[in-house]
Structure 1
Amino acid sequence: MMVRFLFHTLVAATLALGLVQPAGAASRIKDVATLQAARDNQLVGYGLVIGLQGSGDSLRNSPFTEQSMRAMLENLGIASEGGRARAKNVAAVIVTTNLPPFVQSGARIDVNVSSLGDATSLAGGTLVMTPLRAADGEIYAVAQGPVIVSGFNAQGQAEQLTQGVPTAGRVPNGAIIERKVEASLSDSATLILQLRNADFSTAVRVADAINTYTTQRFGGRLAAEEDSRTIRISRPKGVSFARFYAEIENLMVESDAPARVVIDERTGTVVIGNDVRISRVAISHGTLTVRITEMPRVVQPEPFSRGTTEIEPMTQIEANQPDANVALLDGPDLQTLVAGLNRLGVKPDGIIAILQGIKSAGALHAELVVQ
């Protein structure tokens, strides 16, 4: 009911208001923490997209595209010496992806393709075999396949329409893993969990939940919190790493988070945490509107005079300042705070200014994050 109330009030006024999970709501450990050993590895590669319908790089402005095209043809045994190429159906791209943990050779993953030159669209193109390297310089995957682009670009003589991003796309299952990252966990005697959002209360609750389970299941306390983000767990004997982690990752814990208000002034988005509190304050918010209108008029000379017709400038300035009522705002809980902001009847930029003013007055008991 509260979410519906917020939607029909703040969102109706073009203010996007996000609510965090209420205090005391339980989450699985796998949703609030990650296994330190199970990490992704970033891969990147440089390649060519061919088969474009005249929307590729202009080889004069992107000489590296022509060099790459000639090198590719020479590797295929085709001599490319001679005049300058004028093809417009080739584009140089950067291919990026994340190599998941525990992946084996032969598995397929998705890759992202982004234009590097001045191509106008990658729609209909095909990515040519592109090796993907990690930070150590070794090749871990090879990508190839048709590029899927969601945006499009249509251009005529007098108008151009662009929707989405036609110069970036995706190749589903386009990369084949050639080398796996060595990460054997079978011999590891310790598991390290890292919270997605660092918080001492959440770290203690995760450790307590694991210890309660391991005391009943294995007869001992195996988890200990190290700081606001790290929990170290000892693996019991006689149980495999995967089976033990599968048992504890579904345990329920009550996650906690500091009171925080996030403001994005570019989009007018305000996200207020559930634990945000505001002391009793009086607020007056009003805007001054100044309208300047230019109305030049033509002045005619008198009959039989030697005067000339002139244009006389005329400017009309109007100032309008609507009445601004003083309102009392008190937020002992989130619903009361939002109801108080709605009573002011201001737009998103006004609510952002009010929250910043409340913070400056020392009445906002939360961290204010401006993006």
Structure 2
Amino acid sequence: MNVAGMIKTIFIQSFCLVMCLLSIEAYAERLKDITSVAGVRSNQLVGYGLVVGLDGSGDKAPFTDQTFKNMMSQFGITIPPGTNPKLKNVAAVAIHAELPAFSKPGQNIDITVSSIGNATSLRGGTLLMTPLKGADGQVYAVAQGSMVVGGFGVEGADGSQLTVNVPSVGRIPNGAIVERAVPTSFNQGDSLVFNLNSSDFTTAKRVVDRVNQLLGDGIASAIDSTSIRVTAPRDPSQRVSFMSILENLEVDPGEDKAKVVINSRTGTIVVGQHVKVDPVAITHGSLTVSINENLDVDQPNAFGRGETVVTPRTELNAQEAINPMFMFEGSTSLQEIVTAVNQVGASPSDLIAILEAMKKAGALKAELIVL
């Protein structure tokens, strides 16, 4: 073989090797996408306040008047007892937000404002300064600003109404300023713990193998099917660089166990991979009962005495469909199961009943989840 031929052969082999590696890594996922770091989490915040400036769409709840009076008293204005302000442009609202991990004082977060009274719309309103508290009762942010409401409603003089989306809920982008940082355990200890989003022993083992392959044996160890402990440097700057390397590692997750998910309200059926069906014979019939109510009129004869009366007449009819028994062959793949179901021609409601009966009979080798 000449030199050109050898170079061509080496190039083809290298190209095939690269394509094989790419095809393997195409199914891999980054560690940041399948895990979370223990102690690094967001926190929920909630608050209660007033929205003002509404165009007559405010609420008429008694707690709104009480809140308004309390607010005015803080500014030195006293409303006489027994006086009802009868406000139409003020609404009592609940505010909730999510405080991301590592949020620092002075940063802004988005908030959602929802009416808790009978206000018809919050469009055009402005939220007054409202403290947002965490589960511990401490104030972590302060919210205020003009709302963005996606919904709207109109009402005609004859009482007809038209509502698009939900006008009683709005958002304020960057509407809250963080006032207090939440302490985390990220920089504490000699290790970091990664928690898998979906518990799986195979995935945990593969994460440990991948980290040890990169950093050395003993760096990572599995605590259980969810948590992996990784030895990390103590210096904060080094720990950040260390996390940057780890979270971008690509790992091939283990395949999930066989599942069949059924939403009985919508008739949606999702069959996962590795679902197997043992040979089973099935018959599924339906009973139809119809009730017809008819009214008959009984009249007296021409020479007799009596009154014309209306008598009800009820007709009952019950029919049961005669469906032949069919058989599901033992299936080992999702495609075979789908093909068998299509050949049967069962409707979604019928298929739900069939799958539940197959699970009870032990013929469906999968976890059946009914939503």
TM range, smaller chain: 0.7 to 0.9
Q: Does the alignment pair 1:64 with 2:69?
A: no
Give how far 1:186 is off: 4.6
Tell me if structure 2 keeps the 8 A contact 1:283–1:328.
Answer: yes
1:240 counterpart SS class: helix
Q: Distance in 2 between matches of 1:175 and 1:327?
A: 62
What is the one-letter code of the residue matched to 2:196?
L
Once residues 154 and 40 of structure 2 are traced to their aligned partners in structure 1, the CA distance between those partners, rounded to angstroms, is 44
User: Aligned equivalents of 2:303 and 2:164: distance in 1?
Assistant: 63
Q: Is the CA contact 1:276–1:366 (under 8 Å) kept in the aligned structure 2?
A: yes
Map residues 108-123 of structure 1 onto 2, 5 A cutoff: 108-123=108-123
What residue number does 2:90 align with? Answer: 90
Per-residue CA deviation, residues 203-230 of structure 1 (Å, 9 max, x unaligned), is: 1111111111223xxxx44111100110
Spell out the pairing of 1:27-42 with structure 2 (5 A cutoff). Answer: 27-42=29-44
In the alignment, the residues of structure 2 paired with residue 40 and residue 318 of structure 1 have an alpha-carbon distance, to the nearest angstrom, of: 61
Letter in 1 for 2:247: E
Task: Name which of structure 1's ranges 259-268 and 279-288 shifts more when overlaid on structure 2.
Answer: 259-268
Unaligned stretches of 5+ in structure 1? 1-23
Judged with a 3 Å threshold, the aligned counterparts in structure 2 of structure 1 residues 130 and 33 are, in CA distance, closer, same or farther, namely: same
2:249 is aligned with 1:251: yes
Q: Equivalents in 2 of 1:288, 1:150: separation in Å?
A: 47
Q: In 2, Cα distance between the equivalents of 1:162 and 1:346?
A: 39
* CA apart distance, 1:261: 2.2
Q: How do 1:183-262 and structure 2 match up within 5 A?
A: 183=184, 185-186=186-187, 188-215=189-216, 220-236=217-233, 240-256=238-254, 257-262=256-261
What residue in structure 1 maps to residue 12 of structure 2? none
Q: Residues of 1 paired with 2:279 and 2:45: CA distance? A: 53
The amino acid that maps onto 2:36 is T
Alignment of 1:306-325 (within 5 A): 306-325=305-324
Paired position in structure 2 for 1:6: none
CA distance in 2, matches of 1:237, 1:115: 47
How many angstroms apart in 2 are the aligned matches of 1:284 and 1:160? Answer: 50
Higher relative contact order (CA 8 A, sep 6+): 1
CA distance in 2, matches of 1:233, 1:223: 4
Match of 1:165 in 2: 166
1:184: Cα distance to partner? 6.7
CA-based RMSD of the aligned residues comes to: 2.3
Post-superposition offset of 1:154: 4.3
Paired with 1:349 and 1:50, the residues of 2 have a C-alpha distance of 50
What TM-score do the two structures reach when normalised by structure 2? 0.84
Residue 358 of structure 2 aligns to which amino acid in structure 1? I
Would the aligned equivalents of 1:186 and 1:240 in 2 still touch at CA under 8 Å?
Answer: no
Native 8 Å contact 1:292 1:318 kept in 2: yes
Count how many residue pairs are aligned between Structure 1 and Structure 2: 341
What secondary structure does 2:170 align onto?
A: strand
TM-score (norm 1): 0.84
Q: What is the Cα deviation at residue 129 of structure 1? A: 1.1
Corresponding position of 2:338: 338
Task: Indicate how the Cα distance of structure 1 residues 183 and 301 shifts in structure 2: closer, same or farther if over 3 A, else same.
Answer: same
Q: Which residue of 1 aligns with 2:28?
A: 26
- Classify 1:74/1:196 alpha carbon distance in 2 versus 1 (closer, same or farther; 3 Å): same
Q: Secondary structure at the match of 1:69?
A: helix
- 2:202 is paired with a residue whose SS is helix
Q: Larger C-alpha radius of gyration, 1 or 2?
A: 2
